[in-house]
Amino acid sequence: MNYLAHSFLTFTDGQIVGQFLEDFIRNRDRFSFPKDIQDGITLHRAIDTFTDSHPAIHEAKKVFAPLVRLYAGAFVDVSMDYFVANDLSLHSLAEWKAHSLHVYSVLNAHDEWLPENFKKMLVKMEQDDWLYNYREDWGIKFSIQNVLNKAKYLDKDIPVFEAFLTHKEFLQECYDDFFPDLLAHAKGINALIQLEG
């Protein structure tokens, strides 16, 4: 899952911070954070593990695998944010906008815990409102190009976005099969986290 899904699948402000930090910290550093941020890191990992093993995600990867091989999962993650952002059964558009603003506010309020490379990204994320604009084709195109630009072994002109557009209906079906299961799983993991206290 990508940024919007991870931010949505949280239950406290601290978990929002942890969900975003997971991809920016070394494993051994995770215990240096407050408990609620650690909980977000734990939740992020559980979400990723569940996602990687879900049959619908395996099907979705087939859209991108011929173009990007082992990077297919990264582009599925980005694609799923488009469907999350457009899922009005989760939030209305106004609620998605409020969610995005809340996430930026929480992250900025926890500035002391954020690594410098994340802070730089957060400025761009907030400025262009990535979380809300994942609902637009151009928002996902931008995000897909971002992944291509960062990938060491991929040509920057691979038509990944075109594959997304061509197979959008199929990817929507994969999302519909997958996301309710992920949401239930995240709620279960959070319940376990709360029990462990």
pLDDT of residue 27: 81
Are 61 and 67 spatial neighbours (Cβ–Cβ below 8 Å)?
no
The neighbour count for residue 172, using CB atoms within 10 Å, is 16
Are 8 and 99 spatial neighbours (Cβ–Cβ below 8 Å)?
yes
- Residue 187's Cβ-side half-sphere holds a number of Cα atoms within 13 Å equal to 6
166: its two tokens: 């061509």
Gap between the Cα atoms of 111 and 132, Å rounded:
21
Low-confidence ranges of the chain (pLDDT < 50): none
Note the pLDDT tens digit of each residue in 98-121: 999 999 999 999 999 999 999 999
